Structure 1
Amino acid sequence: MGNVQTTHQATQPVITVPAHDQAVPAPHATVPSQQHQPPPPRQDTAAPTVKAFPDLRMRRLMGVSAWALALAVTGFVVGAIALIRLMGDMPGWFEPVFAATGVFGLLLIVAAFVTVQYRRIPWLLLGASSVTLVAGIIMLGNA
């Protein structure tokens, strides 16, 4: 037996009813041509992308951080030596000038972190802070 077609009028749609000898898939069964496939990837322009290299600003921040760490470690060592030497006989000008130089260098380092989004300003500020550290070392050697 084949398909049975019934039509009522010429304007009515044709209804096809399967015969009893044909296999009808269960409603929950999947037909091989209708297997679930993952949806295609979205084409959002706002979605974040994974980059192979860190962003330029992130590399700049890492460089500023490394230079600031070097200045901080060196400044700590120089400050510890100055503290030991202050327990002995030092000129009266040394303590306030040395402390002001250190505080000024520290402020330059903070300003370098604040301006890290700019291209050259953080490097200029860290260079100036390095100059103040060298000035502190020279003062410590001459006092």
Structure 2
Amino acid sequence: MAVDVSRAKRLVRELPGAFRLHTEADPRPANRRIAAVCAWAAALGLGGMAVALRAFVGLIAQYRAWYAPTVIAVGLLGLACTIAAFASLHHRRLPFALLGVASVSLTIGWIVTGL
């Protein structure tokens, strides 16, 4: 399988720009966009606290070797996507796509901790 070198070079060139913090030269995102990302992230944080409480009870109640690594991996995925949403706030759709992935991660965490 041949790798398209031009596509790989373009990805290497554009990826750092997708996740960078704002500078003074960047246009300021709209207040509505900032508020929407903050509200969604706050809801994810509250939901994450509920999942963390369920995970804590699940860790104490019964030993399952797969449980702790699975809960940690799902939680870190959601946390990383939420942080990346703030880092990519100057993009049009990327923050909301990342928060969508974080929401799916939260749902998976809720399901896993209910087992």
Structure 1 length-normalised TM: 0.59
Q: Hey, which of these two has a bigger chunk of strand by percent?
A: 1
Paired position in structure 1 for 2:74: 101
Check if 1:72 corresponds to 2:45: yes
**Structure 1 counterpart of 2:53, one-letter code:** A
Higher relative contact order (CA 8 A, sep 6+): 2
Matched pairs, number: 88
Are the aligned partners of 1:98 and 1:139 in contact in 2 as well (CA < 8 Å)? Answer: yes
Q: Hey, which of these two has a bigger chunk of helix by percent?
A: 2
Are the aligned partners of 1:112 and 1:121 in contact in 2 as well (CA < 8 Å)? Answer: yes
Structure 1, unmatched stretches of 5+, are: 1-54
Check if 1:113 corresponds to 2:113: no
**Structure 1 counterpart of 2:71, one-letter code:** F
Deviation at residue 90 of structure 1 after TM alignment = 3.4
Structure 2 CA distance for aligned equivalents of residues 87 and 56 of structure 1: 44
The alignment's C-alpha RMSD in Å is 1.3
Deviation at residue 56 of structure 1 after TM alignment = 5.7
Are the aligned partners of 2:29 and 2:90 in contact in 1 as well (CA < 8 Å)? Answer: no
Structure 1 CA distance for aligned equivalents of residues 90 and 46 of structure 2: 24
Structure 2 length-normalised TM: 0.72
- 1:38-77 paired onto structure 2 within 5 Å: 57-77=30-50
Structure 2 CA distance for aligned equivalents of residues 68 and 116 of structure 1: 12
Structure 1 CA distance for aligned equivalents of residues 102 and 29 of structure 2: 23
Structure 1 segments, 4+ long, off by >2 Å, are: none
**Structure 2 counterpart of 1:81, one-letter code:** R
Are the aligned partners of 2:81 and 2:102 in contact in 1 as well (CA < 8 Å)? Answer: yes
> Looking at CA atoms only, which structure, 1 or 2, has the larger radius of gyration?
1
> 2:101 pairs with 128, 139, 142, which one?
128
